[in-house]
Amino acid sequence: MSESEKTGGTIEKSGSKVKDASKEAVVEQFEVFTARIIRDALDEFEPFRVVKMSGMPGNDRIKEALRPIIRKELGRLRKSVETQFGVVMKYAETGDLEECRRKFLRNDIFYTSFEGNSRDRGGLEEDLTERMTSMGDDMAPLIKTGEDDFWNAVSVAYDEDEAQELLPRHFAYTETLKSYSDDLHLTVNVGGKVLGTEMEYTDEAMRVLDIAETDLREDMRETIERVYG
């Protein structure tokens, strides 16, 4: 049962109960998870899925040329996700929904690239806000355990079934975004200001992130089994 369920859906505003070592362990492990997702997504990236170029060098050469550009874009995504997790942790400590919600959305690069109508934008806001609050509710018990190791904190705060249910679901970002994908437009300029062109890579970003997240969730479930074994 998550902390929000235990307290009727509202995080108790008790920052004094947060243990610094536990909070640091949770943040560090989340950064490890995020770094892995970005690394695996970059490995999966296929440039021919983004651009159609006949008579051009092989896929490996194009991939090598585009790699620094895509690496930079995925690095931007990683930074935004880590910033968002900082917001999640603030919410977990304070329960300040409105301030955290605004900052969470402002740092979501998919949300800021949304070009759909106001109704769908409202739906995306609700889904992303639910993602933030759900993660914050589930992290709150971890940062109050006093444990300086992430997996120890998990085992103290939750039983195995709860851990298997709660943790993997927070690494399904692309699942949240899929129903809005037609109105998401991630673009990058390639080739400079004079001869360059704007390349949209939304579909490929979604594809590779989905693969990376799926692999992480599967490994996470195996890790949880070992932790409780």
Q: Tell me the percentage of the chain whose pLDDT exceeds 70.
A: 83
User: Three-state SS for 2?
Assistant: coil
Counted domains in the chain: 1
pTM (2 decimals)? 0.84
Residue range of the domain that includes 159 = 15-228
**Amino acid 198: pLDDT:** 75
Asked if the structure places residue 5 within a domain, the reply is no
Q: With a cut of 70, which residues of the chain have pLDDT below it?
A: 1-16, 51-65, 191-196
Residue 7 resides in a domain: no
Secondary-structure breakdown of the chain: helix, strand, coil percentages, each rounded to the nearest 5: 75, 5, 20
Alpha-carbon distance of 226 to 229, in angstroms, equals 5
Answer yes or no: are the C-beta atoms of 13 and 95 closer than 8 Å.
yes
Residue 29 lies in a domain: yes
**Dihedral sign for Cα atoms in the order 164, 165, 170, 175:** positive
- Residue of 195, 189, 9, 206 lying closest to 97 (CA atoms): 9
Residue 26 lies in a domain: yes
**What is the rounded distance in angstroms from the CA atom of residue 131 to the CA atom of residue 127?**
6
Residue 4 lies in a domain: no
Quick check: is 181 in a domain?
yes
Residue 203 in domain: yes
Residue 62 lies in a domain: yes
pLDDT of residue 9: 38
178-199 confidence digits (pLDDT tens): 999 999 999 887 766 655 677 7
